[in-house]
Amino acid sequence: MSIYARIAGTGSYLPELRLTNQDLVERLAKSGLETSDEWITTRSGISARHFAAENELTSDLAVKAAQAALSTAGMTSEDLDLIILATSTPDHLGGFPSTACVVQDKLGAHTACAAFDVQAVCAGFTYAMAIADAFIRTGSYKKVLVLGAETFSRILDFQDRTTCVLFGDGAGAVVLEASKEPGILSTALHADGSQRDILCVPGRSGNGQVHGSPFMTMDGQAVFKLAVKVLEQVAHEALEKAHLKPEQIDWLVPHQANIRIMEGTAKKMGMSMDKVIVTVHEHGNTSAASIPLALDVGVRSGQIQRGQHLLLEGVGGGFAWGAVALKY
C-alpha cells in the first residue's frame, strides 16, 4: 500500500513592522537614495513588506508559523518526528547550530525529533518539501514540520534600490503526515551552479572579518529571464510525473518574487491569473518563506479547499529551482 505525505496543517507569521512603499521611500530618502511608490509597484507589484524587529530572529518567526501550523493540524510539538527549515538567513553566522535545532528547542520538541536546515534560497521550500516527502514515503518519519523562514532585511543594501525595495521578512510552515490518501504527488528539483553570480551574497568571513560585500546582489534582467524559463520547465516536469495537465491544477502557488515573473509563468502554462495565489503585493519577496506564506493565505482565505490540486514552484540563487504537485 502506498504511503503519501499529506498536508495536515498550514501556518504563517509576519513581523509586526509593516512598511508601505511610501514608508520605505521616506526612509531611503534620509540616506540620499531616491525612488518612488510608482517605480517599485510598476517593476515588482509590491506595495508593502514586513521587517523583523531588532530583537527578532529567524527562529522566532519560524516558531510562530510552526505553532499556527501545529494548531491547525491538531498536533503539538511532541508529535513531530522531524523538522526541516529552509532559510538563507540563519540565526547564527556560519549556519550552525542550525536554525532548525533552535526552533526544535523553542517549540519544546523532544530529542527524538531530528532537525536540520536546507539552503536553496528562494527554492528552499520546494527542496524541503521534496526531502520530507521522501522521508515519509520510505516510512522513516510520520509527522514532519516543514518551514520556510527569512529575515532578508538584514542582508539588504539600502543604497541599492534595485534590491532593497523587493524583499521582506516572514515565515510559513506546513505539517506533513503519513497518509493512505494522496497528498504530495510529485516533486522536481534542479540546480545550475554556473549561474550562481547573478543572485548571491558575495562576501566571505575569515579571521573575524567579512571579505567582500555582506549584502545581496542581483542581476535583475538575468534572473528574470532565467526564472521564467526554468519555472515553466519544472512545472511541466512535476505535472507530468503526477500525471496531471495544467488545466487540472486548481491553484498555482508560486514563489512570490515579482508579479511579472508570476504572470509570465502563468501565461506560458496557459493558466489564468485567477488561479494563482498572489501575496507579493503585501509581503514582498520573502525568499524561502514566500511559498508557505502564500499557501497559508490561500488556505485561511478559503480559496484553497480540500481535494484541490496545487502546484508549488520556486526559483532562487544557486541557481536552484523546484516544483511540487500535490492534492491538498
- 55 catalytically annotated: no
Residues of the chain with CATH 3.40.47.10: 4-181, 185-327
Report how far apart, in Å, the C-alpha atoms of 227 and of each of 70, 172, 256, 261, 314 are: 33, 22, 12, 7, 9
| Segment 57-81 mean pLDDT | 98
Burial label, 113 (beta-carbon count in 10 A; 0-12, 13-18, 19+): buried
Nearest to 323 by CA among 189, 173, 176: 189
CB 149 within 8 A of CB 289: yes
Give the integer Cα–Cα distance in Å for 229 and 242.
Answer: 21
Name 72's Cβ contacts closer than 8 Å, sequence gap at least 6.
Answer: 8, 9, 10, 11, 175
**Residue 253 and residue 295: Cα distance in Å, rounded?**
6
pLDDT above 90 covers what percent of the chain? 90
Give me the catalytic one of 21, 50, 258, 285. 285
Helix (H, G, I), strand (E, B) or coil at 261: helix
Q: Compute the CA torsion angle 292, 295, 300, 305 (nearest 10 deg).
A: -140
pLDDT digits (tens, 9 = 90+) for 216-270: 999 989 999 999 999 999 999 999 999 999 999 999 999 999 999 999 999 989 9
At 113, the pLDDT band (50, 70, 90 cuts) reads very high
Which architecture, in CATH terms, is 185-327? 3-Layer(aba) Sandwich (3.40)
The Cα–Cα gap between 14 and 83 comes to 20
Q: Is 258 a catalytic residue?
A: no
Q: Is 256 helix (H, G, I), strand (E, B) or coil?
A: coil
- 255 flagged as catalytic: yes
Q: Which of 194, 118, 170, 185 is nearest to 295 (CA)?
A: 170
Among the residue ranges 3-12, 29-38, 291-300, the one predicted with the least confidence is 29-38
Predicted local confidence at residue 95, as pLDDT: 87
Average pLDDT, the chain: 96
Cα dihedral 57→280→129→319 (10° resolution) = -90
Here the cell at position 166 is 523587493
Q: How many residues does the chain have?
A: 328
Choosing from 21, 50, 113, 122, the catalytic residue is 122
Q: What is the distance between the alpha carbons of residues 141 and 54, in angstroms, rounded to a whole number?
A: 36
For 198-259, strand residue ranges (E) read 199-200, 204-206, 209-211, 217-218, 251-254
Distance of alpha carbon 119 from alpha carbon 107, whole angstroms: 21
Q: Classify 170 as helix, strand or coil.
A: strand
pLDDT of residue 1: 76
Tell me what percent of the residues of the chain surpass a pLDDT of 70: 100
pLDDT tens-digit series, residues 141-176:
999 999 999 999 999 999 998 899 999 999 999 999
Identify the CA nearest to 24 among candidates 38, 3, 8, 42: 38
4-181: CATH homologous superfamily? Thiolase/Chalcone synthase (3.40.47.10)
Alpha-carbon span 277 to 307, nearest angstrom: 17
Phi, psi of 5 (to 5 degrees): -100, 110
Catalytic residue among 21, 50, 101, 255: 255
pLDDT, position 120: 97
209-219 average pLDDT score: 90
Rounded to whole angstroms, the Cα distance separating 313 from 296 reads: 15
Contact 258, 285 (CB under 8 A): yes
Is the peptide bond prior to 319 cis by the omega test (within 30 degrees of 0)?
Answer: yes
The mean per-residue pLDDT over the stretch 55-77 comes to 98
